[in-house]
Structure 1
Amino acid sequence: MIWIKGGWILDPSDNTDELGDILIKDGKIAARGIFSQATAESYGEDIQVIDASGKKIMPGLVDLHVHFREPGFEYKETIKTGASAAAKGGFTGVCPMPNTKPAVDSPEMIQKILDIAEKDSPIHIYPVGAITKGQMGDELVDIKGMAEAGAKAFSEDGKSVMNAEIYREAMKIAAEIDVPIMAHCEDKNMVGQGAMNEGAKSRELGIPGISNAVEDVIVARDILIAKDTGARLHLCHCSTEDSVKMIRCARKDGVKVSGEVCPHHFTLTDQDIVEDDANYKMNPPLRSRDDVEALKRGLGDGTMEAISTDHAPHSEEEKSVSIKNAPFGIVGSETAFCLGVTELVESGILTPLELVRRMSTNPCRILGVEGGSLQKGSVADIAIADFDEEYVIDKTEFLSKGKNTPFDGKKVKGRIYTTIVEGKVVYSL
């Protein structure tokens, strides 16, 4: 049994924001309140006490968007290393995207991911299946069969399904079985050789640009198809002002659409790229100040319901070349929480409770999985953090194989101290 003692409880599931203790027994939350030694002992013997004084106790974070690279690209990341990094970041569950080699496009591949996770992962792995076979865009996967095998969502992440009729059929099936479609919104016919945001900075650096329209036209299309089919649509890594506007409008119109924002997109703009450094290359790219401010407003007013990382590790060699030639992606599992605290809580855009809502309770609801709550009887997936502790991000301390981050050396607030999954401590500082 675990007694988390003397912390500040943040539970968005019932809006609890108060001092208290948590008692954990048999992988569940047995009680919540303020307990004496005698009361705690009445729940069982062999008590492990975790002193949370000065810290906040929150439901474990859930990341709707990671790339753990296994199978096929284990030199970049494995489920084991990625999950360990996520646990360090306060995450008790993650959704690995299917753009592996081979792609996760069959019930057998879903089972393979789950088998590896059972052996290697300290946290929950929620597999995301591809929408088309081999992610080639031509033939639908067995959506129902993959869902029965354990797929929690479907996505063509890394690209969009450009054939709208195939995509519409996928959404119809997803609506029938009530699993979300996670959309990477990028018109491949418009993006060309683009490698960063189209604007003054791309022209200054001589790097081909990616316009906002590359994202926006697919956001509009996907929302309309979701409206037509009744599917639950989740828009990944939104980066533009118009994406926020369209989601806000669609939600008012009753469309089942949610959107996520990544920490790099609410923290940095393209103007922060001072030289040809591929650690600043991600897809979608860092956008303008107007876009960043719109994303923050969307997070603040609840239009954008989730914060996800799009954790995308690459080798140092791959990222040591020009932005023009390097692969897209940065790591995020070990920096998401502190960037959320630093950029959103410290600036007053979100309260600590609302940050946890967007990183835990809302993602669990969107995905349809257990978690995101500290109420009695809930699964004991918990993170304990000091929101006030200041430190400097040091990529050499990452547990991820990937060190590709533009945040190395950045001073931040907010450190994860303990991560608990089903009542078991899987990370402790």
Structure 2
Amino acid sequence: MENMMLEIKNIKRVGSDTLESLFIEDGKIRGWNLSESASETIDGKGATVAPALIELHAHLREPGQEQKEDLASGLAAAAAGGYGTVVSMPNTSPVVDDPGIVTSLIQKADRLGFARLKPAAALTRGQKGETLADLAALKDAGAAMFTDDGRTNENANVLRRGMEYASGLGLLVSVHAEDATLRQDGVMNEGVVSQELGLPGNPAAAEAARVARDVEIALLTGARLHIQHLSTARALEIVRQGKKAGAPVTCEVCPHHLTLTDEALRGFDAMYKVAPPLRTQQDAEALFEGLLDGTVDCLATDHAPHTQAEKEKDMLEAPFGIPSIEVAFPLMYTRFVKTGKISLEKLLDLFTAGCARVMNWEVPSLEEGAVADVVLLDLENSKAVDPKSFKSKARFSPWAGDELYGWPVLTLVNGRVAFQG
């Protein structure tokens, strides 16, 4: 049987205005501008081509919370956002601490044909922070990393042993770094705005203190540690110092912590309630500097879908989190590349190669022989954010109505179409 060859024509490489053709065969990049004839052709209409994005931190809610999101809606949303690979968080119901759950999630995602799923598994049983899960069996089942995300690891010795165990398996531990005793029942950043609104605050020190502890554990063990959704200037500085001291520590920042601040909560709208909370403009600016100087390794969304009814509760009762996987790239491109604050090459690195380096995965490329995970981006035309059109079940957004550039128009995973706009 003859191999199927796909040609994507009339596309531009990053930094070039020349229209070219990319050829894909058997899920791999075959080459550029070949003289061979393809069995299928897609017209890219002048879009810019890049490796598909990688997401290291998304809540897909399956199993057990499918009213918020499920694999089908979440992975379709990811593909629409330009993502080829998604690491899902394990704080589901039941918790992903059993190898059978990992296997079934991967098998179901493969059948769906949207973005590729790489589930994270819980570091401890039930994410209770007490007893380590069977990390070796979880890795054998396909777990990509270990994390108790959604919970904070209060017992430093359990985290130490988990990091040592994971390191022996060649995987990293990812942490939600907040001191729960400092955070208490804070629902927003502790500061001027929380005081004026009379809402319980979550101090920057809760994040900084825990990051400092966890960086010390990384130095002690030599085991890889990844810090999720960094939100404060102080914690970023601690990571910077830890890296200089030789700690094998990496960190991610989310688009909402770069583009929104605690000022957004003045209307008491729980849509802006996230964990860790939106901080100050000074924090957002410091985090952006961290992107530029390399302290921040990658961008992640912390895509956290909830039902509309849940997010319409008051600030004390509503759950933390916003859905953002479909708008993350256009948002970052419009706010920071279009305004000249960061290059397109650097932004794409933070969404792709940076994530791969954190995980010790092969860095994605568009060279011959590479896996054909590809995204086409429309950098020329703007479109308003319309939550009603989201593939995600969570159809609300802090950026609703914003005119953004850089929307994905085609996402390929292993050479097959996962999304076509």
Task: With the length of structure 1 as denominator, give the TM-score of the two structures.
Answer: 0.94
Deviations 1:88-142 (A, max 9, x none): 0000110100000010012122112212222335121001010110011110001
Distance 1:255 1:344 in 2: 30
Deviations 1:252-275 (A, max 9, x none): 222211111111000011112230
Q: Secondary structure at the match of 1:273?
A: helix
Report the counterpart of residue 309 of structure 1 in structure 2. Answer: 301
The equivalent position to 1:337 in structure 2, one of 329, 335, 343, is 329
Matched letter for residue 192 of structure 1: Q
Matched letter for residue 252 of structure 2: E
Deviation at 1:48, TM superposition (A): 1.6
Deviation at 1:6, TM superposition (A): 3.0
Report the counterpart of residue 283 of structure 1 in structure 2. Answer: 275
Report the counterpart of residue 203 of structure 1 in structure 2. Answer: 195
| Match runs of 1:21-420 below 5 Å | 21-32=21-32, 34-35=33-34, 39-41=35-37, 45-53=38-46, 55-370=47-362, 372-420=364-412
Distance 1:94 1:216 in 2: 27
Distance 1:8 1:220 in 2: 44
Q: Secondary structure at the match of 2:107?
A: helix
Deviation at 1:2, TM superposition (A): 1.6
Conservation of the 8 A alpha-carbon contact between 1:341 and 1:352: yes
Conservation of the 8 A alpha-carbon contact between 1:383 and 1:420: yes
Distance 2:151 2:380 in 1: 38
Deviations 1:353-405 (A, max 9, x none): 11111101111222233462111100000000012321211111111001242
Matched letter for residue 160 of structure 2: R
Deviation at 1:205, TM superposition (A): 1.9
Matched letter for residue 419 of structure 2: Y
Conservation of the 8 A alpha-carbon contact between 2:388 and 2:396: no
Distance 1:401 1:319 in 2: 13
Report the counterpart of residue 13 of structure 1 in structure 2. Answer: none
Distance 1:56 1:4 in 2: 11
- Residue identity (%): 38
1:6 aligns with 2:10: yes
Distance 2:218 2:192 in 1: 35
Deviations 1:405-424 (A, max 9, x none): 21112222211110001111
Which stretches in structure 2 are left out of the alignment for 5+ residues?
none
Conservation of the 8 A alpha-carbon contact between 2:9 and 2:41: no
Distance 1:155 1:143 in 2: 11
Question: Given the superposition, is the C-alpha separation of residues 321 and 49 from structure 1 closer, same or farther in structure 2, using an over 3 Å criterion?
Answer: closer
Q: Secondary structure at the match of 1:8?
A: strand
Deviation at 1:292, TM superposition (A): 0.2
Deviations 1:190-220 (A, max 9, x none): 1111001111111222211111011111111
Deviation at 1:40, TM superposition (A): 3.3
Report the counterpart of residue 423 of structure 1 in structure 2. Answer: 415
Conservation of the 8 A alpha-carbon contact between 1:4 and 1:52: no
* Alignment coverage as a number of residue pairs: 416
Q: Secondary structure at the match of 1:239?
A: coil
Single out whichever of 155-164 and 109-118 deviates more from structure 2: 109-118
CA root-mean-square deviation = 1.5
Deviation at 1:348, TM superposition (A): 2.3
Distance 1:379 1:240 in 2: 36
Which stretches in structure 1 are left out of the alignment for 5+ residues?
11-15
Conservation of the 8 A alpha-carbon contact between 2:68 and 2:393: yes
Distance 1:266 1:163 in 2: 30
Q: Secondary structure at the match of 2:310?
A: coil
Deviation at 1:178, TM superposition (A): 1.5
Deviations 1:288-319 (A, max 9, x none): 01100001101112211111110000001101
Deviation at 1:17, TM superposition (A): 6.1
Deviation at 1:49, TM superposition (A): 3.1
Conservation of the 8 A alpha-carbon contact between 1:52 and 1:384: no
Matched letter for residue 292 of structure 1: A
